[in-house]
Chains A and B, each alone.
Chain A
Amino acid sequence: MTTPSLSEAVPAVTSRLRAAPAAWTFLGAGAVAILVYFLLPAHSDVQSIYYVAIGAASVAAIYVGATRNLPPGERLPWRLFAFGLLGQVAGDAIFAFYEVELNREPASPSVADVFYLGGYLLLAAGVFLVLRRLGGQTSRTAILDTLLLFAGVALVQWIFFIDPYNHMPFGTEAERLVAMAYPAVDVLLLVGFAQLLVGPGGRTTAYRLLLVSLGLWIVADEIYGLNVDSYQGGDWVDALWLGSYVVWAAAALDPSMARIAQPDRRRLPRLSAARLTVLAAASLAAPVTLLIERAAHHRVHAYVIALGGAVLAAIVLARLAGLVRAVEHAGLAERLARREAEQAQQLLKYQNQQLVELDKLKDEFVSSISHELRTPLTSISGYVELLLEEEESADKRGHLAIIDRNADRLLALVSDMLFAARLQYGRLELERQSVDLRELVMHSVDAARPRAAAAAVTLHVDVAEVPAVLGEPGRLAQLLDNLVSNAIKFTPGGGRVAVSLSAHDGTVCIQVSDTGIGITDVERQRLFERFFRSQSALEAQIQGTGLGLYISKAIVEAHGGRIGVESEPGAGTTFVVELPVAQ
């Protein structure tokens, strides 16, 4: 077995020490130092000086910790802690000086009291600065809670720690007042401590250490206050003050102290168990004090307790009133919200009803317009047809044919416009069945032959066997008629229109191409818009409503298909329709 040589062991230990967080190192060293304090001869000069040394080291550590862990703007609370504790050390030092050099205590009140009490105020200021940075201290509830706490603590402090000086044989009046000042400033520290205890601060190591040090200091003060007659330097109570110094320094040295003023979101629900306990303790201060005084056969401070109890009750009442008001507010808001929701629902129902009625009305309207326009057209067409059959003069027959053709156009126009109007209102609804497009295409082309012949346009058709599609035959025929008659319309004499039908990849493809006037790229974007007419169509005075392609697109899309167009101005246009094959 080999043991590491000293030359290896020493750097190992120092590096480990360097790695150990400064806070814990200081805490460990402080604990040892406190132990040593009690090993020193009691009430000796050495012990007094040693006490001051531990305090001074802690103050230095707090100063260094704040400088190291915090940016310049945020050091104030810790500087206050350092100077506050420095005040204590200075007071201790004055006492030590008197004991070592003069072998007596300084007269009371002395300059030491100025340091001590000033230091307390600085410490309290530091705590309140931390609390302020944590936030949540300015709401009405928070202020009432603080007042409640203050009243409870003040009542207890007065009865057990401050007032007793009034009934003790004590030196001068000044001496008595100074002695009473200590428990009085402890009230501030106690309130600050309680606020930190229930506050929203994240429970970091530094936060916990700060709570411990503050708690130790207060407990030491209170124990001292109860034993003010018998206390002597070197008593075990000194361990609490020394401990507070050391722990306070450890808090300052721990890096987490940088986050001490950051609230923890999870703590935001405000009425925690801890907070409730603290508030309950504060509000019970009066009766509990009374009971303790009675039990201890103490002189009962009836007036003070009655006054304190009244103040506490008033604050609790104010706090309660706030709660009740908040609850009422919430209840009212809820009722309002519910009423609004009900009204909104009724409005919605009413609007739905209106929509349904409007829908019916619109159908009725479209229907009756159709009826009103078709009725006179029926007479015109019917009687022209009759005349055409009977007229023998070729001229007059020609004129009658023109009337007939225009009546047909008017009828087509009426149909298209009504169809477009219905499309405007809602989706096109189809009554689907299995459709053989081959048949429809042939039919449509055959029907267009006379028009093609009249326009001197050759009409080619190339239909392959294609699978059936699911659709409404009437609508698909309308689509084909639109595309074919469009192509004929826009193709000058001598041109050619070709209709083809093919199938690939689960779609049936209809192509209608012409060698017509074509359309520009810009116009192609708007081709399927309602009432769109191309510039060339207008210039060539080709008649139309601009509804055919709009309707065609709607029909294709209602069938789950797509329609597209390719064109070269002057060279021709090809419309491509793709429809899904029936599954």
Chain B
Amino acid sequence: MTELVLCADDDEDILALVTLRLRRAGFDVVTAADGEEAVRVARERRPALAVLDVMMPKQTGYEVLAALRDDETLREVKVILLSARVQESDVARGIDAGADAYLPKPFKAQELVAKVEELLAPT
């Protein structure tokens, strides 16, 4: 069974790029254009992993992350924060908030796919 990945980013171009890369790597992808939508889609579709942009309207990536961690049925969803905010403090904040990984933008396709595969690999 192919695993479902939720991608959320308010930048259409980047969202399309991430979606394309993950589909080519063999994942099913659902998308969201802002934080609220991301939470709604996550509740409906129950993805195995979410790639979240940090700076999104309505709800930030951190808030979406918190919402997922607060929801018993979604607590186990793996989360990768993808952000153009690359200061050490930003990265540390993401990891502290419970993200499984923090990838800086711009990212290399290979890097992203490798990280997703690593997190979804059966332990």
| Chain A contact residues, CB within 8 Å of chain B | 366-367, 370-375, 377-383, 385-386, 407, 411, 415, 431
Contact = CB atoms under 8 A, between A and B. Distances in A.
26 contacts: A366-B87, A367-B85, A367-B87, A370-B87, A374-B84, A374-B86, A374-B106, A375-B14, A377-B106, A378-B11, A378-B17, A378-B84, A378-B105, A378-B107, A379-B13, A379-B14, A379-B17, A381-B106, A382-B17, A383-B13, A383-B17, A385-B108, A385-B109, A386-B17, A411-B106, A415-B86
Contacts of B14: 375, 378-379, 382
A371 B17 contact: no
Contacts of A415: 86
Given A374-B105, A386-B109, A379 B11 contact: yes
Interface string B75-88: 00000000111111
A166 to B, nearest CB: 103
B119 interface: no
B67 interface: no
Interface of B: 11, 13-14, 17, 20-21, 55, 83-88, 90, 104-109
A373 B84 CA distance: 8
A415 B88 CA distance: 13
Given A375-B14, A378-B107, A431 B84 contact: no
A371 B11 contact: no
Contacts of A380: 106
Contacts of B104: 374
Given A382-B106, A382-B109, A431 B88 contact: yes
A484 to B, nearest CB: 22
Contacts of A371: 55, 83-85
Majority DSSP secondary structure for residues of A touching B: helix
A373 B83 CA distance: 12
Contacts of A378: 11, 14, 17, 84, 105-107
Nearest to A381: B106
Max chain A C-beta neighbours (<10 A), residue from B14, B17, B105, B108: B105
Contacts of B13: 379, 383
Contacts of A377: 105-106
Contacts of B88: 431
Contacts of B11: 375, 378-379
Contacts of B86: 370, 374, 415
A272 B5 CA distance: 95
A377 B83 CA distance: 12
A22 to B, nearest CB: 89
A33 B1 CA distance: 139
A367 B60 CA distance: 15
A367 B84 CA distance: 9
A511 to B, nearest CB: 29
Contacts of A375: 11, 14, 84, 105
A369 to B, nearest CB: 10
Given A374-B105, A375-B105, A378-B107, 7 more contacts: A366-B87, A367-B90, A379-B11, A379-B17, A386-B20, A386-B109, A431-B88
A370 B84 contact: yes
A375 B12 CA distance: 11
A378 B20 CA distance: 14
Nearest to B11: A375
A383 B108 CA distance: 10
Max chain B C-beta neighbours (<10 A), residue from A377, A378, A381: A378
Max chain A C-beta neighbours (<10 A), residue from B17, B90, B107: B17
A336 B36 CA distance: 59
Max chain B C-beta neighbours (<10 A), residue from A367, A374, A380, A382: A382
Contacts of A411: 106
A535 B33 CA distance: 50
A261 B3 CA distance: 107
A407 to B, nearest CB: 8
Contacts of B109: 382, 385-386
A372 B105 CA distance: 11
A372 B55 CA distance: 10
A370 B17 contact: no
B63 to A, nearest CB: 17
A95 B3 CA distance: 142
A196 B33 CA distance: 99
Max chain A C-beta neighbours (<10 A), residue from B13, B84, B90: B84
A367 B55 CA distance: 11
B14 to A, nearest CB: 6
B64 to A, nearest CB: 17
Contacts of B90: 367
A214 B107 CA distance: 105
A537 B14 CA distance: 37
A366 B87 CA distance: 9
A378 B108 CA distance: 9
B79 to A, nearest CB: 19
